[in-house]
Amino acid sequence: MRTLIENLSFAFTVDAKDTVFSPAAMVVNDDRIEDIGPAADVLGRHSRESFDEIIDGSNKGVCPGFVDTHVHLSETLSRGVFPDNLNTRAWVFHWAKPFYAHVMAEDEYVSVLLGAGEMLRCGTTCLLDMGAQNDPGITVRAMEKVGIRGITGRHAADNPPEHIPHGWSDEMMRHHFFPNTEVALRTLGECVEEWNNSANGRIRCWVNIEGKEPCTLELHVGARALAEKLGVGTTYHLATSIEEAHVCEKKHNLWPISRIEKNGGLGDNLVIAHGVAVADHEIALLAKHDTKIAFCPSSSLKLGKGAAKIGKYPELMDAGVSVGLGTDGVSASGNLNLMRQMYVVAGLFKDARVDSNQVGARRALRMATIEGARVLNWDDQIGSLEKGKKADFVLFDLDHFEWVPYLDPLQALVWSASPASIAETWVDGKALYKNGKVTTLDEPKLFKEARQRATQISNRAGLIKDNIPTTTTLYD
């Protein structure tokens, strides 16, 4: 299938020079971008008779599909359940774990469908899922059905707490906490062998673990080593808050990233989720090992992680560290809207440091696209609109009030636009969101089932009551 999209008002390529074509045209050949450039040049290189389809892009603009570098798809049914007076550790141990413990296989399938559909509506075409609560094949099959691109794995840990909190089920403990590091790594390796490069390579499987206190040092280091052996990546939570850093320092006399680096655990196939509590000297360590960071602005705001106060994300990027954007899960951040993350990161450090030169629109767009692709080690195929790359892109309706009027499309995209003005989202050369619908889902039916299952999970987990702790001493 060969498609011409002509009369585009602009095209953000997000290539090495941040080239913008205006007016623009693009040729899609099956799942690849065959040509893109100034409208007259593209039209001059092809005869109209050679196309199977010609789309009029009048009053539309295009940019690369957004890349979400940290999300919990198994969490999508928890929207609006958790209160917003929790710090990270209390949120995890007393709310998230009980919820996860009662997410059954059928629930997780619906959760992934719902989350992936939301992401397509928000222009996200590729994601890094933290890991399935059940068999990762459930997540793979749901992602395959929706048509989105991404990476998943199997959630894993090997260091259970001394005292098991209320709501943590025996079944969750058996499934989630492995008896030792060796068993955990063997199982994770089997998951990669079975599920990596599913859906004709559109879905990858990594050696993912939970990270932080529920994982031993051996599992942190071993997961990255195993991933390197298998030719894939790994991701885990680390340095997620100042509280975590203080607990680590108290126990080990080191902050989290320094502890991992000292034991040979950093590398170019590791994506650290959050990375809020980074000491000044650790910036060079991350850059030296080409370790990536997934920054989740909305969950930092909701959980009070401290990104605006102590976060070193501008310095990390200046040092050459690849920093992408993530939405986290819907209970941690409230949404799976990467455009909102782009908006927040563009301005967060301007305000925190009283410096209008911090980050800004150009850098924010790159974090949401090509830098996100680099974090996932997928930038050879996605993240920018260039000849030969995958046809993953977003078309914006410039007749939407968010775009009327505008002069500089970059400023309008980052500071004015939202998913409300997205006309279409394409993945692998297919329009998966258009005419206000996700084309691969029966959304009314899905929404009804999601509401029912969400209520059932929260009831099973005991989260519909008032005496659940909002602080924690677990692992202290």
Q: pLDDT category, 149, cuts 50, 70, 90? A: very high
CB atoms within 10 A of CB 84: 11
- Residue showing tokens 């879905």: 203
With a CB cutoff of 8 Å and minimum separation 6, the contacts of 277 are 239, 240, 241, 242, 244, 245, 255, 256, 306, 310
Q: pLDDT category, 141, cuts 50, 70, 90? A: very high
Comparing 206 with 469, the larger pLDDT belongs to: 206
Domains 2-64+384-438 and 66-375 share a fold: no
pLDDT at 464: 80
Q: Which residue, among 420, 387, 418, 408, has the nearest Cα to 9 in the 3D structure? A: 408
How far apart, in whole angstroms, are the C-alpha atoms of residue 457 and residue 466?
A: 17
Give how far Cα 466 sits from Cα of 82, 278, 456, Å.
Answer: 11, 35, 17
Beta strands 20-21 and 10-12 are antiparallel
Residue 123 has φ and ψ, to the nearest 5°, of 85, 5
pLDDT of 433 higher than 80 = yes
Q: Give pLDDT tens digits for 33-54.
A: 999 999 999 999 999 999 999 9
Q: Give pLDDT tens digits for 234-243.
A: 999 999 999 9
pLDDT of 467 higher than 90 = no
SS3 471: coil
With a CB cutoff of 8 Å and minimum separation 6, the contacts of 240 are 88, 212, 273, 274, 275, 276, 277, 305
pLDDT at 21: 98
Comparing 466 with 103, the larger pLDDT belongs to: 103
**Domain 66-375, classified CATH 3.20.20.140, yes or no:** yes
**Domain 2-64+384-438, classified CATH 3.40.640.10, yes or no:** no
SS3 280: helix
pLDDT of 175 higher than 90 = no
Q: pLDDT category, 468, cuts 50, 70, 90? A: confident
How far apart, in whole angstroms, are the C-alpha atoms of residue 167 and residue 149?
A: 33
pLDDT at 142: 98
pLDDT of 282 higher than 80 = yes
pLDDT of 465 higher than 80 = no
How far apart, in whole angstroms, are the C-alpha atoms of residue 301 and residue 308?
A: 9
Q: Which residue, among 118, 116, 160, has the nearest Cα to 141 in the 3D structure? A: 116
With a CB cutoff of 8 Å and minimum separation 6, the contacts of 418 are 337, 339, 340, 402
pLDDT at 172: 86
For 379-403, what is the mean pLDDT? 98
As a whole number, the mean pLDDT across the chain is 96
For 413-425, what is the mean pLDDT? 98
Using a pLDDT cut of 90, give the percent of the chain over it. Answer: 91
Burial class (CB in 10 A: 0-12, 13-18, 19+), 256: buried
Q: pLDDT category, 288, cuts 50, 70, 90? A: very high
How far apart, in whole angstroms, are the C-alpha atoms of residue 239 and residue 212?
A: 8
pLDDT of 166 higher than 90 = no
Using a pLDDT cut of 70, give the percent of the chain over it. Answer: 100
How far apart, in whole angstroms, are the C-alpha atoms of residue 237 and residue 223?
A: 13
For 240-249, what is the mean pLDDT? 94
Sequence-ordered strand ranges (E) for 97-188:
124-129, 149-152
Q: Which residue, among 46, 47, 17, has the nearest Cα to 34 in the 3D structure? A: 46
pLDDT at 123: 98
pLDDT of 466 higher than 80 = no
pLDDT at 475: 86
Q: Give pLDDT tens digits for 326-369.
A: 999 999 999 999 999 999 999 999 999 999 999 999 999 999 99
pLDDT of 476 higher than 90 = no
Q: Which two tokens stand for residue 21?
A: 């074509």
pLDDT at 264: 97
Q: pLDDT category, 195, cuts 50, 70, 90? A: very high
Give Cα 456 distance to the centre of its chain. 27
pLDDT at 474: 87
Domain-by-domain residue ranges, the chain? 2-64+384-438, 66-375
CB 201 within 8 A of CB 380: no
How far apart, in whole angstroms, are the C-alpha atoms of residue 318 and residue 242?
A: 22
pLDDT of 209 higher than 90 = yes
What angle, 0 to 180 degrees and rounded to 10, lies between the N-to-C axes of helices 360-368 and 338-352?
140
